[in-house]
Amino acid sequence: MRNAIAALLLAASLIAATGMAPANADLHKDLGKNLTENYIRPATVHFSNAAAALTGALEFLCREPDSKRESFVHSRFNTLVNSWFRIQFLRFGPMVEDNRFERIFFWPDPRGVTLRQVQDVLSGYDRTAINPDQLAEKSVALQGLLALEYALYGTGAEGIVAGSPEGRYRCAYALAVSQRLTAVAAELAEAWSSDGSFAYQFMFPGPDNDLYRNDEEVAAEAIKAMVTGLTFVSDAIITPFVAKEPENANHKRAPFWRSGLTIPAIRNAMDGLHSFYTETGFAEALDETDTWIDGGLQLELRNVATSLERIDMPLEEAVMPGPGRETLIYVVIALKSLHTTIEGRLAQAVGVAVGFNALDGD
């Protein structure tokens, strides 16, 4: 009896000392497996397929340029960008190896590196820029979605359909970029496939697993990915072009303004995050007293999605004072609120709260 009391006291003092309630073991059971099989794997495969499809469409266009083929390329590009935004928040493991995130999406780019470098490539004739293997050795800003967007939609892109020498070279560069993206996307899909060593580590945490020792470490990674993704959308994508003051708003500071894909990209980012959150199963595992957390998150996520649907005007107009701008500002506020709830209340409720210094240190 005395031992039992001593054990209880010890347990109580351990909780007091760490400030952390013991995590419910069932809470995160199979979390990595569920996330991989139900969200990450299909989403990375979709991205990989979309890249391969664009490469096919570009080969077709470059061989015999015409406007029908160009429309087809544009529609494939659209699919690729949207599928990217459904996985951009998975910024751990394979996404950070070999600078894959930056190779795909070199953003934010406040110094305009992509524009400068791509214009430089397109202004002359650089054989090494149209060879995907040699392109891989160049600046990552030349290899990603934004470089490809400029080639397909930027000044001089009409040369592609016209079939001028500049246009043919430009198409060849676009094709090389698309081939690079296809290769990188395939590496990502491979890493998350059933043969992928990273997927295995994420799916099966354990004492012998060097990367994830237990389910809590997987849960912490999932929470961090969501929080990082939300901050990226609000701070790195929306805020810079909407700006605090309307006179500083500039739609050209948005990624994908040339192709008109900015708002669809944000919609897909949010939709992806929502689906990922659903697949964590945190909602079902919360204690009754914590179910309001899920209720609040669901409500806010739905409101953001509905609001984004309402932005149907051109981006140039959406940033000016009026309903578009108001909606974008609301979205930023809602994303910050989602961020705070996930990082604070949800993380605590699922037993993976992070300290003041660990959360945001220098």
| Residue 190 binding another protein, by CB under 8 A | no
**Of the residues 9, 15, 96, 333, which one makes contact with another protein according to CB under 8 A:** 96
CA distance 314 to 260: 8
Residue 109 contacts another protein per CB under 8 A: yes
The only residue of 66, 97, 158, 309 in contact with another protein, by rule CB under 8 A: 97
357 near another protein, rule: CB under 8 A: yes
* Residues 201-260 contacting another protein, CB under 8 A: 210-211, 235-236, 240
Looking at the Cβ atoms of 106 and 169, the one nearer to another protein is 106
C-alpha angle 27-31-37 in degrees, rounded to nearest 5: 150
Single out the segment in contact with another protein by CB under 8 A; choices: 22-30, 63-71, 308-316, 351-359. Answer: 351-359
Both structure tokens of 96: 């950070």
Output the six-digit token pair for 203: 């799916």
Among 3, 26, 110, 289, binds another protein (CB under 8 A): 110
Kindly give the interhelix angle for 262-280 and 215-231, rounded to the nearest 10 degrees.
160
Contact 269, 85 (CB under 8 A): yes
Least distance from another protein to the Cβ atom of residue 291, Å: 26
Residue 245's identity, in one-letter code, is E
The residue ranges of DSSP E strands in the chain, in sequence order, are: none
> Under rule CB under 8 A, how many of the chain's residues touch another protein?
28
Site string for another protein, 127-156 (x = CB under 8 A): -------------x----------------
Q: Given phi > 0 = left and psi -120 to 50 = alpha, else beta, which region is 254?
A: beta
Of the pair 195, 362, the CB lying nearest another protein is at: 362
What is 253-314 written as a DSSP string?
GSTTTTTT-HHHHHHHHHHHHHHHHHHHTHHHHS-GGGHHHHHHHHHHHHHHHHHHHH--S-
Instruction: Using the rule CB under 8 A, give the single segment among 35-43, 105-113, 325-333, 344-352 that binds another protein.
Output: 105-113
Contacts of 208 (CB under 8 A, 6+ apart): none
Assess 356 for contact with another protein (CB under 8 A): yes
Length of the chain: 362
CB atoms within 10 A of CB 54: 30
Q: How far is the CB of 101 from another protein (least distance, A)?
A: 8
Q: What is the smallest separation between the CB atom of 358 and another protein, expressed in angstroms?
A: 4
Contact segment (CB under 8 A) with another protein among 13-21, 119-127, 160-168, 301-309 equals 13-21
**In the complex, which residues of this chain contact another protein (CB under 8 A)?**
17-20, 92-93, 96-97, 99, 102-103, 108-111, 140, 210-211, 235-236, 240, 354-358, 361-362
